[in-house]
Amino acid sequence: MNVLLVAEESAGIQVLRMVAGSEHDLVAVLTEPPTRGGGATVASVADQLGVPILPSTSVRDPEFAEWMRSEEIDLLLNVHSLYVIHADLVAAPRIGSFNLHPGPLPEYAGLNAPSWAIYHGESRHAVTVHWMEPGIDTGAIAYETSFEIAEDDTGLSLSARCVREGLPLFQQLLDAAAQGRDAIPATAQDPSRRRYFGADVPNDGRITWARPAREVVDFVRACDYFPFSSPWGQAQARLNGETVAVTKASRTGDAADAEPGSVAASGEDGVRVATSDEWIVVHRLHVDGQAQPAAAVLEPGMRLEDG
C-alpha cells in the first residue's frame, strides 16, 4: 500500500518509524520543516530514513488532492496535524484517511483530551483511531483501547500513554487495510454523547483555592508537562501580588482548618496549602520563570491567593 503521513511531535516520530519499517511504501510525510537543535523532529527523522518531506501547510490546499491521486495514495494517516485537513484531501485516498486521537470519542473530541480528562477527575481514558470526515473528530471509530488513569498521572504522562497505546491500533489498521477497505471496522459515533473541547483553558489557567482539593490538584496535574511546555500553560496563583505557578502538587487527605490558600508547615517534600476541604502539598513552583522547590519560596503564615 501507498501511505501518506501527516505528523508532528513524538507521536508522529513513532508512527513514522513504524510505517517506514513496514512492508508498505511511505510515499511522503507532511510536517513542519527541520529546526536547528532541540532534539529529534518528524522532519529530522524522516530525513534520516530517506522519506520525502512535504510542507505541513499542504493539508489545507485542495489542489494537493490531485497529487495524492497521481501517487495512488491508499491511506492517509494523521498524527497531531497542526492544521485542519481539507475535505478534498480526506476523500482522496483509495482506502481512506484515519486520525489518531488521544482520547475517547465522542466524549472527548477536540484539543488536549488528556488534560481535560485529568481535570474532570476521570478514572479511565482511551485512545482512538477513527475514519476522517470533513468535521473534526466526527468519523466512525475503527479502533479504540481504554486504560486507567493513575493518581499521579500528569498531562504529559497521560499523553505519552496515549501514544504507546495508539501505535498498536495503527498497526491493526495497516494489517486490516492490506486486506481491503471492507476489512476495517467502522462504528458510528453517537452524536448525543459528543463533547468538543477547544483551545480554552479552565478558569483562564488560574487556581481557585476555595475549591476542593481534588479539583485543585487535578488542575495542576492536567497542566503538568514538565520539563516540556504545556498546552494549557501553568496553573497560576498569586503571592504578595506577584504571579507564581504551581507545577506539582498532591493531596494529603487531611481536613483543612484554615482559610483557603493559607500556607502551613513545610518540609523537604513540600509545603501544605489549604483548600476548601483538605490540605494539599505543593511540591514545586515556577517563580520568575525558574522552577523552585515550594519550601524555598513559601513559609508558614503566608497566603497564596487565586491566580
Q: Which three cell numbers stand for residue 198?
A: 477547544
Q: What is the pLDDT of residue 90?
A: 97
Residue 125 and residue 164 in contact, taking contact as beta carbons nearer than 8 Å: no
- Per DSSP, 72 falls in state T
Q: What is the pLDDT of residue 37?
A: 62
48 and 152: one domain? yes
**Which one of 138, 173, 197 terminates a domain?**
197
**Which one of 165, 197, 229 terminates a domain?**
197
Task: Provide Rg for the chain, Cα atoms.
Answer: 22
Domain that holds residue 251: 203-306
The domain that holds 37 is classified in CATH as 3.40.50.170
Q: How far apart are CA 84 and CA 136, in angstroms?
A: 8
Confidence check: pLDDT of 304 > 90: yes
For 140-171, how does the pLDDT look when each residue is reduced to its tens digit (9 = 90+)? 999 999 999 999 999 999 999 999 999 999 99
**Which one of 197, 216, 232 terminates a domain?**
197
193 and 208: one domain? no
234 and 186: one domain? no
Residue range 282-293: mean pLDDT, rounded: 91
Q: Give me the numbers of helices (H) and strands (E) for the chain, helices first please.
A: 7, 16
For 11-51, how does the pLDDT look when each residue is reduced to its tens digit (9 = 90+)? 999 999 999 999 999 999 999 987 766 678 999 999 999 99
149 and 269: one domain? no
Q: Which three cell numbers stand for residue 125?
A: 481514558
Looking at every residue in the chain, the average pLDDT score rounds to 95
Three-class secondary structure of residue 188 per DSSP? coil
Residue 131 and residue 173 in contact, taking contact as beta carbons nearer than 8 Å: no
50 and 185: one domain? yes
- With cut-offs at 50, 70 and 90, classify the pLDDT of residue 137: very high
For 262-287, how does the pLDDT look when each residue is reduced to its tens digit (9 = 90+)? 999 877 789 999 999 999 999 999 99
Q: What is the pLDDT of residue 305?
A: 95
For 232-242, how does the pLDDT look when each residue is reduced to its tens digit (9 = 90+)? 999 999 999 99
β partners of residue 127: 145
Helix (H) or strand (E) segment spanning residue 262 = none
